[in-house]
Structure 1
Amino acid sequence: MISIRPAVPSDAPALAAALVRNRESLRPFEPWRTERYYTAEGQAERLADGGRRWVAADGDTLVALATLSGIVLGPFRSASLGYWVDAAYTGQGLATRLTEEVCRAAREELGLHRVEASTLLDNHASQRVLAKTGFAHIGTAPRYLHIDGEWRDHHLFQRILHDDPPPRG
């Protein structure tokens, strides 16, 4: 059974192994990475960068990762979602489960109002995940991110988590 939980610093070696294992399948969706990125040390640095991350684990093997980055509180109360799933585990609903857990935590633990996400125009699988988990398409951004060696257009999505006012103070 696959479990989903917050990432911890000791996940760095297993996360590096998962990224090495999936390097080619993730390449079309990722920015260029240094070799250090694919090491336990590089992943330890990444886990300590201030973003919030969740992993999906099949026993001791990490098979997916979701990240909330750019977390802004105050009146905005928003963050950006990114995720990937091991090539051997795609099509099994894991990205949907992971996205739902991140959105639950974003609301209940972080008090966020909205989560945004983006996909390459031709990433229909990720667009289906976002639609299934309550994200709405809000536009298309030309040359939004530098992915696999070129500036690529992206569809933009958001999910409103609640309409409660932010805490005072």
Structure 2
Amino acid sequence: MTDIVIRALDRDDSRRLAEMYRGDRDFLKHWDPQRPDAFYTDSGQADAIETTLRECTSGRMWSGVVLEDGGLVGRVSLNNILQAPFRSCSLGYWVAQPYSGRGIATEAARQAMQIAFGSLGLHRVDAFAREENAASCRVLEKNGFKKVGLSRGHIHINGRWRDDIMFQRLAPWDDGIRLDPPAS
């Protein structure tokens, strides 16, 4: 059995992430927005990580990497964190193609939900997946996400605007009234 953990993104992750993104470039063009060539370089990933870490420092994001047996195999993030009456964010994740289909993304998403509903004290997590991405839909459903609608023209991928299924999960402590999670 493998050991799957997530940890906060670090500047030292740039080389490995660049290598993984280069390896998945053709695959990702079907699922991710178009990116400049520089994104796939070590220095491009270093720049992207710096931008992401600024968002994390501001409290607008939590970003991490996915590790299997200590080796970096993917990314996971809680994006667009909103506080006050919303207490929500949006989940994003990616596991490099050589590691997919083994439950790694499902476990990474589960651990990200612990962070969202635990230390971040959020009430709701949204996630989006294209209908034809059955694997991503399964990751969300296995983590207790429910389909709540269709977001038409949600994201521009591979030359056109794509629809996404919108998923949502409420905190396990949600009672319809409480603003804050119960004290631990």
Determine if the alignment matches structure 1 residue 69 to structure 2 residue 79.
yes
1:123 maps to 133
SS of aligned partner of 1:92: coil
**TM-score w.r.t. length of structure 1:** 0.91
CA shift for structure 1 position 131: 0.5
**TM-score w.r.t. length of structure 2:** 0.84
CA shift for structure 1 position 42: 2.4
Q: 1:1-80 to 2 correspondence within 5 Å?
A: 1-4=2-5, 5-48=7-50, 49=52, 50=55, 51-58=61-68, 61-80=71-90
Determine if the alignment matches structure 1 residue 151 to structure 2 residue 165.
no
CA shift for structure 1 position 43: 2.1
Counterpart CA distance in 2 for 1:126 and 1:77 is 24
Q: 1:74-93 to 2 correspondence within 5 Å?
A: 74-93=84-103
SS of aligned partner of 2:120: coil
Counterpart CA distance in 2 for 1:16 and 1:106 is 27
Counterpart CA distance in 2 for 1:19 and 1:140 is 28
Contact 1:14 1:61 in 2 (8 A): no
Mark the runs of 5 or more structure 2 residues left unpaired by the alignment: 56-60
Mark the runs of 5 or more structure 1 residues left unpaired by the alignment: none
The one-letter code of the counterpart of 2:19 is A
- Percent identical: 37
Counterpart CA distance in 2 for 1:113 and 1:38 is 35
Alignment CA distance shift 1:58-1:39 (3 Å): same
Determine if the alignment matches structure 1 residue 98 to structure 2 residue 100.
no
The one-letter code of the counterpart of 1:98 is A
Contact 1:47 1:53 in 2 (8 A): no
Counterpart CA distance in 1 for 2:18 and 2:130 is 24
2:58 maps to none
Divergent runs of 4+, >6 A: none
The root-mean-square deviation of aligned C-alpha atoms, in Å, is 1.7
Deviations 1:35-93 (A, max 9, x none): 12112332233323313222122466421111111111111011111111111111110
The number of aligned residues is 167
Determine if the alignment matches structure 1 residue 113 to structure 2 residue 123.
yes
Contact 1:74 1:166 in 2 (8 A): no
SS of aligned partner of 1:144: strand
Counterpart CA distance in 1 for 2:111 and 2:68 is 16
Alignment CA distance shift 1:60-1:93 (3 Å): closer
Counterpart CA distance in 1 for 2:33 and 2:75 is 16
Counterpart CA distance in 2 for 1:115 and 1:93 is 20
Contact 2:4 2:107 in 1 (8 A): no
